[in-house]
Structure 1
Amino acid sequence: MKSKHFQYPAVDEREPILIGARNLKMARSAHAYVRGNTLQFYEWLDALDVGVLPEGPPIWICGDCHVGNIGPIADAEGRIEIEIRDLDQTVIGNPAHDLVRLGLSLASAARGSDLPGVATAQMLEQMIEGYEQAFDAPDGKVAADIPQTVHFAMKQAAKRSWKHLARERIEDTDPIIPLGKRFWPISDAEKQDIVLLFETEQVHQLATMLRSRADDAAVQLLDAAFWMKGCSSLGLLRYCALLGVGGPSFADMDMCLIDVKEAAKAAAPRCAAVEMPSDDARRVVEGARRLSPFLGERMRADHLLDRPVFIRELLPQDLKIEISAMSHDEAGKAARFLAAVVGKAHARQMDEGTRTGWRMELSRSRSKTLEAPSWLWSSVVDLLVSHERGYLEHCRKHASAANVSAAPRLRSAL
């Protein structure tokens, strides 16, 4: 099925359209700009003097720890936890970088909710407290009140089925991926490599490991398409594949959607004295296993078209937490809870002595009147100012369709 209104670009024409779509998406709001513009954050980190931020123990960090990258994740048995859900930028680095990035995201969301400045200060206080409390029980449940937005996402996740996922992602439960604004046709070379990819043993195991599927069940590639999805991934290889597990007829098959995503070189700062996988897809998968076990166990690393890619089955329970309008009280709860999720992901990688030392380091530079450390407060304020300026300049440059090449196709794609 093809869209009557969208002109599909050739393979060598995709990049400018994808980049243009990303620019327009980032212009929608200041918070969208913060989420999509990781490069400005890393440039800020690179320009910092040594000692401005505390130097934490070298562990796997998210590297792009904003609100939209945390949400419900299901494991192979269907259990659901709130975990970090996007690990494209994961590296072995300084855990303080995740805290500053999360603080910036939360502060930007608070500004978007028209909350007063004091709410931002209190959010950062709640954030650091929630993060530290996670270190008291790194293997247990997050001991923080669940905010309404997270509670709603968890309820939705628990109720969702394959039909919900199919209707949301591919608009139908038939064994095809309908071409249109989000899904584009692939070339013969892409199709050939995708077929070879799904014939490998490790991808076969990925397709059969969930929902009590038989290990020796037949796995058949039913359809595949280029996927215009996300913000940071726009401009990279991204494919959606529809597999049938079991058989022999469509009626007997268990359908599954597979996300194949190119792993680009991480821009997040990494610790120089530690070894990390040199292959970017293996880096992403290893970081996911350390930070988000439910997600990491469902991921595999491979190559497609001579580029590193990581592969995972999309599950109905995997959802993004969307924070739009927040009350003052809800903002504090959200900051505390989400920081506790990040704290748990960090703490499980440390032994007891390392956890104690890191908590002591975090407590430095706290004043008697502000619970949030001064390094966190000043970092978030500086970043808010620079990102607000960058956002306005971005809008001036990209938001007007007259200034964007291929504007009609961009508007259709969005």
Structure 2
Amino acid sequence: MAVAPDERSVVLARTRALKMARSVHAYVRGNTAQFYEWLEASSIAASIPEGPTLWICGDCHLGNLGPVADAEHRVDIQIRDLDQTVLANPAYDLIRLGLSLETAARSSDLPGVTTAKMIEAMIDGYRRALTPTLKDDPREPNVVRSVRRKAIGRRWRHLAKDRLEDVTPNIPHNKRFWKLSHAEADAIATLFAQDPIRVRCRELAGVEGDGSVRVVDAAYWRKGCSSLGNLRFAVLVGISSGKAKDERLALVDIKEAVTSVVAPSSKAAMPADPAERVLMGAKALSPNLGHRMIAAQLMGKPVFLRELAPQDLKIEVEQFSRKEAIVAASYLAFVVGQAHARQLGDRERLAWRETLTSQDGNLEAPSWLFRAIVAMAGAHEIGYLEHCRRFALNR
């Protein structure tokens, strides 16, 4: 499929609007900037506890958690999208995850009391991750267990079939993959000809010596929601040690790094380059992913590269049962808590754990978190309906 670069913005804007109109849950996923604007303007903003400054996901919704393979193909459930990562208050990740779970529960026609139970479960799971001596992890929900099992059994052929439609070494041009302009093709070829990129590609592929790295095929990738309209390319790379018939194929995702919509802590000292910021945040929050990424420049813009592993999957929820929603809330908050906790010493972990519920005595679900999620759920419900109305009229 051929879409000229100057026509992409119109097509991608329409695609983004359509994806966000599918459900309020999809609207939350694609509405990160507005989320933080509404949160800052809300009456609840002043009551959000100030946690330690650390790397947060920034866009911590359900679809951004899932199985992630490390360089040795071992699989862990970690944060899988770090575009918005900044040094900031970890409470933001809890609110955004809670909102995502709430909209998923409402889309599953679960009663409102489930939201309160999920928030209790979230705090339980998150506090477990902050407890240095606690050994019993929350129970893994069925939706996570099934996707983990699927991830462990996946190989290159599965990735090729999902992404490329076949195992043949080319990227098909279709609704997802668009033909490159000559300038884009030349820029990508030049990028992979750079020594630092070639060396890092060989390291990640486990190829020693002076093996070759070549671009087999590449395409513009229409993918995601909030990132639509920025540079996004899929590149099929061949990596060889130089011996005959030993070339290894890798599918590399190149994504433009943009300024985060999350306001960083006033004490934060982060890299000025957005790609370096994403790389640093990824290494802190999701080591499996962070150590497979490369920061670079492409066509005058900061980008980050990551090899797509067959085991990297997202958690997709069609329908939550009440019990499953509560178990998932505990477990996923535990995963986020682990990402935060690995950046803190034991004393800092315990202090932050105490701060989370200190305002509410013995309440299991802190009122600040409940009220923040309810306020954001209301704002997004209104925003979603307005979005659907505008989208329908524009069509």
- TM-score tier after normalising by the smaller chain length: over 0.9
Q: Does 1:72 align with 2:63?
A: no
Query: Residue 290 of structure 1 aligns with which residue?
Result: 284
Query: Residue 373 of structure 2 aligns with which residue?
Result: 380
How many residues align? The count is 394
What TM-score do you get using the length of structure 1 for normalisation? 0.92
Whole-Å Cα distance in 2 between the matches of residues 306 and 57 of structure 1? Answer: 35
**8 Å contact from structure 1 (residues 76, 209) kept in 2:** no
Show CA shifts across 1:93-117 (max 9, x none): 0000000000100011100111111
Q: Does 1:244 align with 2:238?
A: yes
Whole-Å Cα distance in 2 between the matches of residues 179 and 192 of structure 1? Answer: 18
**Candidates 45, 60, 64, aligned match of 2:55:** 60
Q: Does 1:162 align with 2:153?
A: no
Query: Residue 403 of structure 1 aligns with which residue?
Result: 394
Whole-Å Cα distance in 2 between the matches of residues 56 and 248 of structure 1? Answer: 51
Compared CA separation, residues 205 and 334, structure 1 to 2 (3 A):
farther
Query: Residue 353 of structure 2 aligns with which residue?
Result: 359
Query: Residue 386 of structure 2 aligns with which residue?
Result: 393
Larger mean Cα displacement after TM superposition, 358-367 or 246-255 = 246-255
Letter of the 2:367 counterpart: S
Letter of the 2:368 counterpart: W
**8 Å contact from structure 1 (residues 175, 250) kept in 2:** no
> SS state of the match for residue 359, structure 2?
coil
**Candidates 137, 141, 150, aligned match of 1:143:** 137
Query: Residue 51 of structure 1 aligns with which residue?
Result: 46
**CA drift at 1:118:** 1.0
**8 Å contact from structure 2 (residues 131, 350) kept in 1:** no
Show CA shifts across 1:113-145 (max 9, x none): 11111111100000011001001249x988110
**CA drift at 1:265:** 0.8
**Candidates 118, 121, 128, aligned match of 2:113:** 118
Whole-Å Cα distance in 2 between the matches of residues 91 and 129 of structure 1? Answer: 25
Compared CA separation, residues 386 and 134, structure 1 to 2 (3 A):
same
> SS state of the match for residue 252, structure 1?
coil
**8 Å contact from structure 2 (residues 129, 334) kept in 1:** yes
**CA drift at 1:247:** 6.9
> Which runs of structure 2 are paired with 1:117-266 in the superposition (5 Å)?
117-137=112-132, 143-210=137-204, 212-246=206-240, 252-266=246-260
Letter of the 2:113 counterpart: V
> Which runs of structure 2 are paired with 1:98-117 in the superposition (5 Å)?
98-117=93-112
Show CA shifts across 1:252-271 (max 9, x none): 32111000000111001101
> SS state of the match for residue 364, structure 1?
helix
**CA drift at 1:346:** 0.4
Larger mean Cα displacement after TM superposition, 258-267 or 197-206 = 197-206
Whole-Å Cα distance in 2 between the matches of residues 45 and 300 of structure 1? Answer: 32
**CA drift at 1:203:** 2.0
> SS state of the match for residue 235, structure 2?
strand
**8 Å contact from structure 2 (residues 205, 239) kept in 1:** no
Query: Residue 300 of structure 1 aligns with which residue?
Result: 294
**8 Å contact from structure 2 (residues 235, 254) kept in 1:** yes
> SS state of the match for residue 46, structure 2?
coil
Letter of the 2:119 counterpart: L
Identical aligned residues as a percent: 51
Query: Residue 313 of structure 1 aligns with which residue?
Result: 307
Query: Residue 408 of structure 1 aligns with which residue?
Result: none
Query: Residue 407 of structure 1 aligns with which residue?
Result: none
**CA drift at 1:232:** 1.3
Compared CA separation, residues 11 and 249, structure 1 to 2 (3 A):
farther
Whole-Å Cα distance in 2 between the matches of residues 289 and 168 of structure 1? Answer: 27
> SS state of the match for residue 365, structure 1?
helix
> SS state of the match for residue 384, structure 1?
helix
**CA drift at 1:211:** 5.1
Whole-Å Cα distance in 2 between the matches of residues 247 and 226 of structure 1? Answer: 28
**8 Å contact from structure 1 (residues 206, 299) kept in 2:** no
Larger mean Cα displacement after TM superposition, 354-363 or 340-349 = 354-363
Letter of the 1:176 counterpart: N
